[in-house]
């Protein structure tokens, strides 16, 4: 028995960063907005309490705040010839759950993608020729860096980002990132106070003629009042950031930047612990009537709405489209279908430098406190003589010294016994690490669809992920490892080790929760699932907001761009869509 509820103007699936941004913008517009969230209500005082927030076992190892695989997982394989099996535990990436979503337990690296990232296909074709990208399936986003700038600015001021501009209106700024696109103004907060390791990294980088700068951080360098009037506290460098909620109101999230205002609005409501099963389409499948969801007692509800916004984690947005029949599921054999197309990830590698005479106090840290070198990111450098496209930011961002997970030792150290213990004590304080966060470019056979065998707790097919690192990206990552090795030699430590990225993506060790694509934006409905305002081509009263919209991933963390795209979609809904509801904003 399905209970039919009173109609809402807008229903939002998922109340994380994008859901909260859209809810705030559309309630300001006077619309009656309901958010439906699969996980629980969470807030700082009750759930990220300073008395127990710093529990490594509970939050980092057992992952108390994350989506549990019993609720939803997905199957994986490396290529289409293999049988996909379920990730019985999440490992390589860790999707969020509950109010605030993954924005609760992120580190806070907040980047802008560059114009050359948005014009990927056009830029690479013009610069290196079509043959260079023949085995990739890269696309343009359909927006320019200049078009995105005001929305990045909006997100950075909402979130109180601490950083140093590198380029204000075309004028390069000393100490910032010289490779970034022009921005209208500096970050709202100055960079964080630097710890020892990134300071040393920046000195070494500068001595080599590279251009280190403070990583833009959503950890507050000082107390901040955002444009909504919400106050955040100064970061205490506690070293419990990624995988943890922040007890200090110092890390930007929906909880610390939007919800205190949003929750007071009479025209907003959130229903938690309620999972949307699918979007219900009208006969003919050209418009959505609302969503069907189920609560924890198993009771099923139909929530009618004029406008449906999918604001779940990007992967879950793609699966909801598949389960709802919004658009056609991508088929790698024919190249037809757009939902599930261009799934991309992040191509990372790392270096450790071991010293005898240094104490880095690794526990004094914050999620986004560090230094970045972008000299080899994206298209900041000439690939003319190279055999790949793309690049990576080189980041020295020591986020923690939590000892269950962070115990660097010299290569060859035994895993247990007295020799292990001695090496662990020696390596704990005196090891410096940095890593390359590399771009991930789409290929024909990296994609998402529905699994033919495995089901979720409601009997619906799990999503199936088919992914391996493309040869191009492995070549890119190896080039970056060579550059990182140059830096390692310049440090003059007693020893260093380089962990190179290899083919055969392994779903077990943690790598990155930067899963992108599956419902990509673009200008051609045959190659994209949503238009450049994130409106579904097929069902125009559905918008799909998140990293699901990225046609490929850059060598940068996605949240800044996700936030900017959310503000851009909100702007388009408020100022264009509502004039003629239900109509496409872009003619195919």
Partner 1 sequence: MQVVAGGWQFFTPQEAALVEAIVDRIIPADDLSMGGKEAGCAVYIDRQLMGAFGTSSRLYTQGPFLPALPTQGYQGEANPAQRYRVGLAAIDAFLKQRDGKTFAELQPADQDAFLTAMEAGKVELPNGVKGPGFFGLLLQNTMEGFFADPVYGGNKDMVSWRMLGFPGARYDYRDHVSKHNQPYPRPPVSIEGSPEWLGKRS
Q: Does 334 bind partner 1 (CB under 8 A)?
A: no
Tokens for 405?
């997970």
Q: Does 489 bind partner 1 (CB under 8 A)?
A: no
Q: Does 86 bind partner 1 (CB under 8 A)?
A: yes
Chain-centroid distance, C-alpha 64? 19
Window 219-248: contact mask with partner 1 (x via CB under 8 A): ---------------x-xxxxx------xx
Window 41-60: contact mask with partner 1 (x via CB under 8 A): ---------xxxxxxxx---
- By the 8 A CB rule, do 24 and 259 touch? no
Q: Does 143 bind partner 1 (CB under 8 A)?
A: no
Q: Does 454 bind partner 1 (CB under 8 A)?
A: yes
Q: How far is CA 258 from CA 39, 424, 547, in A?
A: 18, 42, 20
For partner 1, the binding residues in 268-307 under the rule CB under 8 A are none
Positive or negative: CA dihedral 486, 491, 497, 500 = negative
Q: Does 88 bind partner 1 (CB under 8 A)?
A: yes
- Rounded Cα–Cα distance for residues 30 and 280 (Å): 24
Indicate which single residue of 4, 45, 61, 588 sits in contact with partner 1 (rule: CB under 8 A). Answer: 61
Residue 413 beta carbon to partner 1: minimum distance, rounded to whole angstroms: 13
Residue 514 is among the residues annotated as catalytic for this protein: yes
Indicate which single residue of 7, 41, 43, 68 sits in contact with partner 1 (rule: CB under 8 A). Answer: 68
134 Cβ contact list (under 8 Å, min separation 6): none
- By the 8 A CB rule, do 432 and 350 touch? no
Indicate which single residue of 6, 334, 382, 416 sits in contact with partner 1 (rule: CB under 8 A). Answer: 416
Tokens for 462?
């799990």
Element (H, E) at 438: strand 431-438
Residue 481 beta carbon to partner 1: minimum distance, rounded to whole angstroms: 21
187 closest CA partner among 218, 207, 152, 163: 163
Q: Does 418 bind partner 1 (CB under 8 A)?
A: yes
- Judged by CB under 8 A, which stretch of 37-45, 85-93, 320-328, 372-380 contacts partner 1? 85-93
Indicate which single residue of 45, 130, 146, 508 sits in contact with partner 1 (rule: CB under 8 A). Answer: 508
- Rounded Cα–Cα distance for residues 551 and 534 (Å): 12
Task: Give 290 or 362: the residue with its C-beta nearer to partner 1.
Answer: 362
For partner 1, the binding residues in 363-402 under the rule CB under 8 A are 363-364, 401-402
Residue 152 beta carbon to partner 1: minimum distance, rounded to whole angstroms: 28
Residue 509 beta carbon to partner 1: minimum distance, rounded to whole angstroms: 10
Q: Does 195 bind partner 1 (CB under 8 A)?
A: yes
Q: Does 451 bind partner 1 (CB under 8 A)?
A: no
Tokens for 310?
């999918």
Show the CA angle centred on residue 358, arms to residues 353 and 362, nearest 5°: 75
Q: How far is CA 317 from CA 309, 474, 564, in A?
A: 10, 28, 18
Indicate which single residue of 3, 4, 30, 89 sits in contact with partner 1 (rule: CB under 8 A). Answer: 89
Tokens for 179?
């490779």
384 Cβ contact list (under 8 Å, min separation 6): 127, 128
Q: Does 507 bind partner 1 (CB under 8 A)?
A: yes
- By the 8 A CB rule, do 462 and 456 touch? yes
- Judged by CB under 8 A, which stretch of 133-141, 277-285, 432-440, 448-456 contacts partner 1? 448-456
DSSP states along 562-581: HHHHHHHHHHHHHHTGGGST
Task: Give 7 or 63: the residue with its C-beta nearer to partner 1.
Answer: 63
Task: Give 57 or 130: the residue with its C-beta nearer to partner 1.
Answer: 57
Tokens for 318?
């793609």
- Rounded Cα–Cα distance for residues 219 and 203 (Å): 23
- Judged by CB under 8 A, which stretch of 67-75, 137-145, 280-288, 510-518 contacts partner 1? 67-75
For partner 1, the binding residues in 426-445 under the rule CB under 8 A are 428-429
190 Cβ contact list (under 8 Å, min separation 6): 162, 164, 221, 222
Indicate which single residue of 199, 267, 272, 292 sits in contact with partner 1 (rule: CB under 8 A). Answer: 199
- E strands, 81-124, in order: 85-86
Q: Does 82 bind partner 1 (CB under 8 A)?
A: yes
- Rounded Cα–Cα distance for residues 304 and 7 (Å): 5
Instruction: Name the residues that contact partner 1, by CB under 8 A.
Output: 50-57, 61-62, 68-70, 73, 76-78, 82-83, 85-89, 91, 193-196, 199, 234, 236-240, 247-248, 358-361, 363-364, 401-404, 407, 415-418, 421-422, 424-425, 428-429, 453-455, 504-508
Residues annotated as catalytic are 514
């Amino acid at each position: 028995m399905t209970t039919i509820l009173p109609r809402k103007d807008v229903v939002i699936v998922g109340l994380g960063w994008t859901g909260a941004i859209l809810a705030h913008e559309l309630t300001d517009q006077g619309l009656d907005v309901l958010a439906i969230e699969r996980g629980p209500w969470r807030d700082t005082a009750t759930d990220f309490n300073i008395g127990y927030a710093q529990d490594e076992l509970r939050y980092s190892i057992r992952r108390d705040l994350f989506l549990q695989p019993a609720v939803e997982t997905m199957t994986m394989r490396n290529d289409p010839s293999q049988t996909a099996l379920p990730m019985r535990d999440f490992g390589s990436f860790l999707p969020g759950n509950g109010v605030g979503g993954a924005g609760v337990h992120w580190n806070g690296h907040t980047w802008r993608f560059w114009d050359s990232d948005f014009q990927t296909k056009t830029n690479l074709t013009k610069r290196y020729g079509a043959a260079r990208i023949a085995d990739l399936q890269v696309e343009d986003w359909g927006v320019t860096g200049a078009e995105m700038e005001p929305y990045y600015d909006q997100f950075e001021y909402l979130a109180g980002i601490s950083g140093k501009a590198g380029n204000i209106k075309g004028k390069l700024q000393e100490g910032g990132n010289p490779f970034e696109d022009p921005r209208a103004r500096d970050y709202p907060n100055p960079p964080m106070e630097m710890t020892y390791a990134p300071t040393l990294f920046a000195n070494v980088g500068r001595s080599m003629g590279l251009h280190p700068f403070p990583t833009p951080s959503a950890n507050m360098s000082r107390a901040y009042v955002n444009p909504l009037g919400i106050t955040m506290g100064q970061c205490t460098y506690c070293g419990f950031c990624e995988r943890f909620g922040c007890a200090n109101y110092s890390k930007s999230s929906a909880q610390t930047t939007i919800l205190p205002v949003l929750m007071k609005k009479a025209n907003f409501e959130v229903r938690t612990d309620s999972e949307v099963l699918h979007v219900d389409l009208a006969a003919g499948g050209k418009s959505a009537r609302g969503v069907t969801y189920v609560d924890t007692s198993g009771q099923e509800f139909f929530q009618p709405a004029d406008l449906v916004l999918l604001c779940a984690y990007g992967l879950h947005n793609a699966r909801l489209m598949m389960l709802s029949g919004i658009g056609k599921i991508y088929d790698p054999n024919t190249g037809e279908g757009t939902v599930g197309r261009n799934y991309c990830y992040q191509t990372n590698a790392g270096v450790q430098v071991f010293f005898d005479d240094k104490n880095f106090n690794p526990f004094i840290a914050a999620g986004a406190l560090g230094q970045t070198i972008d000299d080899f990111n994206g298209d900041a450098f000439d690939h003319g003589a190279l055999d790949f496209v793309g690049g990576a930011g080189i980041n020295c961002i020591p986020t923690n010294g939590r000892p269950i997970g962070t115990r660097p030792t010299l290569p060859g150290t035994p895993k247990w016994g007295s020799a292990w213990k001695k090496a662990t004590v020696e390596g704990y304080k005196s090891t410096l690490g940095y890593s390359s966060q590399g771009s991930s470019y789409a290929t024909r056979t990296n994609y998402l669809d529905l699994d033919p065998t495995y089901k979720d707790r409601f009997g619906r097919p799990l999503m199936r992920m088919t992914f391996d690192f493309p040869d191009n990206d492995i070549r890119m990552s190896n080039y970056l490892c060579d550059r990182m090795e140059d830096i390692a030699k310049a440090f003059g430590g007693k020893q260093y080790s380089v962990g190179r990225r290899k083919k055969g993506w392994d779903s077990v060790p943690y790598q990155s929760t930067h899963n992108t694509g599956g419902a990509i934006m673009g200008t051609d409905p045959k190659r994209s699932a949503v238009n450049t305002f994130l409106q579904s081509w097929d069902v125009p009263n559905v918008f799909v907001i998140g990293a699901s919209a990225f046609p490929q991933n850059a060598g940068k963390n996605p949240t800044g761009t996700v936030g900017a795209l959310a503000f851009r979609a909100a702007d388009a809904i408020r100022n264009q869509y509502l004039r003629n509801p239900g109509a496409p904003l872009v003619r195919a």
